[in-house]
Structure formats: structure tokens, C-alpha cells
């Protein structure tokens, strides 16, 4: 799995958009970008994933640069419940391809 780099922490005001960046400059052509989040003392929760096109679901949007070396997760209207550690992971999409390697993630704190 390609290595990812994320800022250690970020703050966001409640109701505003939270933009979480991730660098993955060594990403391979067959690797997808996955985002998970982990709320304290819980297992990671899937958020979104993409290959090269921008993606949107009910939770978030994922913007991937054209060269695929970085991406941004966008939570459009952050709430207090979005406070968590957010992990950006790159790996092949095949579900049997192997393990996920977690970096240190970004601790997002949403403030009232």
C-alpha cells in the first residue's frame, strides 16, 4: 500500500465545511483512495472511496487531483458528531487484495 501523509489535527466550526487533505504521491495506477473515520473507542467507519473521479455520497465528497497524488475529503456541514480521527488509505479495490495500512490520520475537532 502506498504511504499517505495527513495533517495531525484540524479544527472546524460547526456548520461549516471541513476540508481534510491527504498526500499520496506514490500511489499506483490500480490503487484507490479510501477514507475512514474513527470515533473514540469505536472501530473505523467507512466514509467514501474513489479512483480518479470526484465522488460524493450522503456523508462526504472526495476530490482527487488530476495527477492522483493528493485528495481532499470534504464534510459539507460539519457537526459536533463529526469529531473523530480521519484516515486516508490507498490500496487496490479488490476486496481480497490484502490488508489496509493505517497512517496516523487527522484528528478533526468540530467546535460549537
Partner 1 sequence: GAVVSQHPSWVICKSGTSVKIECRSLDFQATTMFWYRQFPKQSLMLMATSNEGSKATYEQGVEKDKFLINHASLTLSTLTVTSAHPEDSSFYICSAPGGGNGYTFGSGTRLTVV
Instruction: List 5's β-bridge partners, or say none.
Output: 23
Nearer to partner 1, 21 or 103 (CB): 103
Pairing between β-strand 106-111 and β-strand 9-13 as defined by DSSP bridges: parallel
Of 9, 30, 65, 100, which lies in the binding site for partner 1, with binding defined by CB under 8 A? 100
Query: Does residue 39 contact residue 47 with C-beta atoms inside 8 Å?
Result: no
Q: Does 50 bind partner 1 (CB under 8 A)?
A: no
Instruction: Give the separation between CA 61 and CA 73, rounded to whole angstroms.
Output: 6
Tell me which residue has cell 476530490: 63
Nearer to partner 1 (CB atom), residue 79 or residue 100: 100
Given a contact cutoff of 8 angstroms between Cβ atoms, the answer to whether 52 and 68 are in contact is yes
Give the nearer residue to partner 1 in terms of CB position, either 31 or 82. 31
- Contact between 86 and partner 1 per CB under 8 A: no
Footprint on this chain of partner 1 (rule: CB under 8 A): 34, 36, 38, 41-46, 49, 87, 93, 95-96, 98-105
Amino acid at each position: 500500500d502506498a504511504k499517505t501523509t495527513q495533517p495531525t489535527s484540524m479544527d472546524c466550526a460547526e456548520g461549516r465545511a471541513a476540508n481534510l487533505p491527504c498526500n499520496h504521491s506514490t500511489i499506483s495506477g490500480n490503487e484507490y483512495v479510501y477514507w475512514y473515520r474513527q470515533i473514540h473507542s469505536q472501530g473505523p467507519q467507512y466514509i467514501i472511496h474513489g479512483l480518479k473521479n470526484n465522488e460524493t455520497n450522503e456523508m462526504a465528497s472526495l476530490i482527487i487531483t488530476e495527477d492522483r497524488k493528493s485528495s481532499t475529503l470534504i464534510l459539507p456541514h460539519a457537526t459536533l458528531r463529526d469529531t473523530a480521527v480521519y484516515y486516508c488509505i490507498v490500496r487496490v479495490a479488490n476486496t481480497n487484495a490484502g490488508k489496509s495500512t493505517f497512517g496516523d490520520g487527522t484528528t478533526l475537532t468540530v467546535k460549537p
